[in-house]
Structure 1
C-alpha cells in the first residue's frame, strides 16, 4: 500500500472536522482513492457522488432552490440511507459542478451532514472551486508522490529515513552503502516518478515499459483536457506542453516563447501558462532580479522555467534505452533537466515558492527559496564536477545580499565548505520550514 502525506490531514478532518473539506490537485494523482480509503478505514457511514460518472446529478442538484431541497435530492439520489449527524457525503469531481461549492455554506450551516469533496484543477475552474465563503471549507492540496513517499513505497524503512534525517540535521556524512542505495532509489524515481498508477505498476511488475505506458496514457488524458479549453479560450496549451522537454534540455532552461510561435509576446499567451500552472500539470519557476528578501518583490513573470508536474512524465518523453542508461548512471546521459525537475516538484509539494536568479555579471542560480526567513540559494548538480559553481561563489561573496549559506545538491555525500553545504540530491526531501513554536502576540496598550 502506498502511504500518502495527505492521509493524516484527511483522517484528522474525518475525526474532528466541522467545515467542508476540499482535496484538490491535478488529474490522476490519487485524490479519490485516498479519500475513499480514509473513509473506509474510519468506519463512518458515507455515500459517494461522482459528477463525471453520474452527470445526471448536475441537473438534479442544480434545480434545488435551497439547502433543504438540495439535501432532499441528495437523499433521493443516494443508494444508501443518509443518517443525520453520522453520514459523510463525498462529492467527487466537483469541477464538473462548480455551483456545489457556492452552496457549501448553507449545507454546512444546516449541520445535518459533513461534506468532503475532490476536484481536479482544470485551469479557469480553479478560482471557482476555491470561492467558498471563508470558514465553511478547508482546502488540502495534493501532488504526485514526493520523493519520501516514493522511497517508502519501494521499501525504504522509517529507521533509515530517521537516520538520513539526522544526517541532514547534523550535517554528517551518510553511510557509504546507504548513500549508494539511496542514489539508486533517486534514479529510479527519475524514471517512475510520483503518479500513483505508475508507482503501483512498477511495484507489481518492475517493468519500466509498462510504467512508460501509464505515463503516456496520463499525458493523453491531459491533452484531452487541453482540447476542451484551447478552442473555448484560444489557448496554446498543447504547443507549450509539447515544447517543454526540449526547452528543459537546453543549457539555459528558460522557456523561449519562439518555440511555440514567432513574434509572440508573453502578454498574448500568459493565460495559457497560467492555465497549465493552475491545472497542476506544469510548475513555473520565475526569475528574480536579485536574491534579497522578500523574493516576490523582484519577481519577473516574463522570464521563467517551466517544469513538468511529475518527473516521470518528463522522462516518458525519452526512449526506453535512454531510461536504462539513466538508471545505469552512464556518463553520456545529461540528467540536469531531470534533477532540476525533481527538485521543482519537491519544492512545490513542500509549499516552497521557488525562483531562479540570472545575472550577466554574476551568473545563474538554479533555485532560490526563502527558508526560515532567510534567502537560500540551491544549486543542482548532476555531474561529477559539482564543486564548480562560479555563480554561487559570486552571489555568496556579494555582501549586499547577506546570504548566510547555500545548498549544493548532487550525487556526492554531505560536506561543508564555508557557506556551501553539499548534500546528496535525495536530501531535498528534508528541506522543510522550521515550525514556529510561539505565534501568539498580544498588543500591550497599557499606559497609553
Structure 2
C-alpha cells in the first residue's frame, strides 16, 4: 500500500530529536491517517515498537493494575506478551485508541520522569474524553492535532514537490498571474480535491485508479462510521439530536443564508438544547464551527456571539458524500456543482483556514446586507476573507475596507475561480491558493 507523505512526518522527526521531549498525544477524527503515520515513523526510527490498541486488545487495560509508574506498566505489558522487547533509548511505545482507555494518560508523567522510552498516544474522538486525559497528564505531554490531507499534501500525493508549492506562493507574493497551463492544471486538481476531500483512503483510491471510481463508496462508509461513533460514544447525550444536526448541515449550507438555524433541525428546537450536540460534533473532529463576530474589530477571541454560527464539515468529502445522488453524479461526471457551488467552495476555504491553524469567524450586520464570510488576522490588521462562487463584485468587502467605522481593516482577500489580481486594496487569488494564505500573510508582513 502506497504511503501518502504527510506534514506530521517532519513533526515526528523533530519531536524525536528534541532532548526535552514529552510523551506525545496525537488527536484527530477517525481515519485521517494517525496510526499509519505513527507506525511508519516508528519502524523507520526505532529498533523496537510496542504497539497497543485498546479497542482491539482490551486485555491491555489491565496494565495499570499495579499503578502508573513506567516500570510497573512495562512489567505488565511483558506479562501479557513476553515477546515485546523494551530496548532502552530505542523503543517507541504506541498507545492507540486512547479514547477507549483515557486512564493511561496518567502514566505519561511517569514515562517522562523515567525517560528511557518514547511514548506516543493517539485516538479519534479524543475531544470527548479529553478533559479526563488533560487532568491526568497536565504538564507532561505535548498535543498535536492531525487533520485529513490539505491541498498541499494532496499535491504531494499527485507527485508535485516543494518547489511547486514555493512557486505558487511566489505568484501570490509578487502578484504575478498564473499562466494558462498552471491555471488549468491547478484548478482541475483543486476541483478533484474538493470532490474527494482529504481522507487518506479516498485519496489513495483516486491516486491508484486515476478516477473517482470507488471513492464514493469509501466516503459513504466514512459517513456511516461517524454515525456509528455517535451511537457508541455520545454517552449521556441525545444521540438523535446529534445525528439530526449532522444530517442537516448540507441542506443549510446550500442556502444563501448559511447561518445554521436550529429551528430548521426540528420544530420548537432551541439553541440551549442543541449547544452540547454541536460542541460534541466539533470535539469529535467532524465539523468546524464559524462564529458570528459582534463587531469586525480586534481582538477576534471573545468578540463573537456563541448563539450565531455557521457549521462546515471538517472534510469536504463528507459534504459531497451526503448530497443527493443526482447532485453527486453531476459533480463527478460533469464537474457541475449546481446549487452546492457556493457551499462547497466556502466549506473548502474554511477547512483550509482551520488546517492552517486559524479559528473561524464571520460577520453579519443586523438589518443590513453587510456580510463577510471569514476573518483572519496578522500582527496589526483584521483581514476579511471573501469566497466568491461567481466572479462578481464583493460589495461587503469593499465597504469594510473603505469605511472609517472599521479601523482595524486595511485590506481584504478574495478567493475566486479566476486569476491573481489587486484592486481597491482587495487581493484576489484562485481558490487553489487558499491553503497558502497563512504563509502568504507571514511573507508580506
The TM-score bracket by the shorter chain reads over 0.9
CA distance in 1: counterparts of 2:138 and 2:329, whole angstroms: 49
Q: Which residue of 2 aligns with 1:214?
A: 218
Task: Give the SS at the match of 1:103.
Answer: helix
- Choose which of 154, 160, 175 in structure 2 pairs with 1:156: 160
CA shift, 1:324, in A, is 5.4
Give SS of 2:189's match. helix
| TM-score normalized by the length of structure 1 | 0.92
TM-fit CA distance, 1:371 = 2.8
Counterparts in 2 of 1:222 and 1:108: CA distance versus 1, 3 Å: same
Which sits farther off after the overlay, 315-324 or 43-52? 315-324
Measured at CA, do residues 415 and 55 of structure 1 come closer, stay the same or move farther in structure 2, by a change above 3 Å? same
| TM-fit CA distance, 1:104 | 1.1
Tell me the distance in 1 between the aligned counterparts of 2:47 and 2:169: 36
Cα deviation for residue 173 of structure 1 reads 0.9
- Structure-to-structure mapping, 1:261-410, within 5 angstroms: 261-319=266-324, 322-323=327-328, 325-326=330-331, 328-330=334-336, 332=338, 334-359=340-365, 360-383=367-390, 386-402=391-407, 403-410=409-416
CA distance in 2, matches of 1:350, 1:332: 28
State the shift of 1:332 in Å: 4.6
State the partner residue of 1:52.
55
Kindly indicate whether the alpha-carbon contact (under 8 Å) linking 2:398 and 2:424 is maintained by their aligned counterparts in 1: no
CA RMSD of aligned residues (A): 2.0
Question: Is the Cα contact below 8 Å between 2:349 and 2:434 reproduced in 1?
Answer: yes
Give, in angstroms, the shift of residue 258 of structure 1.
1.4
2:437 is aligned with 1:422:
no
* Partner of residue 441, structure 1: none
What count of residue pairs does the alignment treat as equivalent?
433
Paired residues for 1:150-299 under 5 Å: 150-230=154-234, 232-235=236-239, 236-299=241-304
> Are the structure 2 counterparts of residues 387 and 44 from structure 1 closer, same or farther at C-alpha, using a change threshold of 3 Å?
farther
Farther-moved stretch of structure 1 (37-46 vs 160-169): 37-46
Match of 1:73 among 76, 81, 92: 76
1:135 Cα deviation from its structure 2 partner:
3.6
Q: Give the C-alpha shift of residue 47 in structure 1.
A: 1.2
Residues in 2 aligned to 1:43 and 1:125: alpha-carbon distance in whole angstroms: 30
Name the counterpart of 2:120. 116
Q: By how many angstroms is 1:207 displaced?
A: 3.8
Give the Cα–Cα distance (whole angstroms) in 2 for the partners of residues 198 and 367 of structure 1: 28
- Alignment-derived partner of residue 63 in structure 2: 61
Task: Quote the offset at 1:163 in angstroms.
Answer: 1.3
Aligned pair in 2 of structure 1 residues 125, 77: CA closer, same or farther (>3 Å)?
A: same
Q: Structure 1: which 5+ residue stretches go unaligned?
A: 437-448
The Cα shift of 1:112 comes to 2.9
CA contact (8 A) 2:327 2:338 kept: no
CA positional deviation for 1:237: 1.2
What secondary structure, in the 3-state scheme, does the structure 2 residue paired with 1:295 have? coil
Structure 1 CA distance for aligned equivalents of residues 126 and 342 of structure 2: 30
> Which of 40, 45, 50 in structure 2 is aligned with 1:42?
45
**What CA distance in whole angstroms lies between the structure 1 residues aligned with 2:179 and 2:136?**
50
Shift of 1:151: 1.8
Matched residue SS, 2:322: coil
Kindly state the Cα deviation for residue 217 of structure 1 after the two structures are TM-superposed.
0.8
Residue 418 of structure 1 and its aligned partner are, at CA, apart by 1.9
Gaps of 5+ in 2: none
Distance 1:170 1:44, change over 3 A: farther
Q: TM-score, normalised by structure 2?
A: 0.92
Deviation at 1:372, TM superposition (A): 3.5
Equivalents in 2 of 1:331, 1:4: separation in Å?
29
Relative to 1, partners in 2 of residues 1:422 and 1:435: Cα closer, same or farther, differing over 3 Å?
Answer: closer
- Pick from 10, 26, 37 the counterpart of residue 8 of structure 1: 10
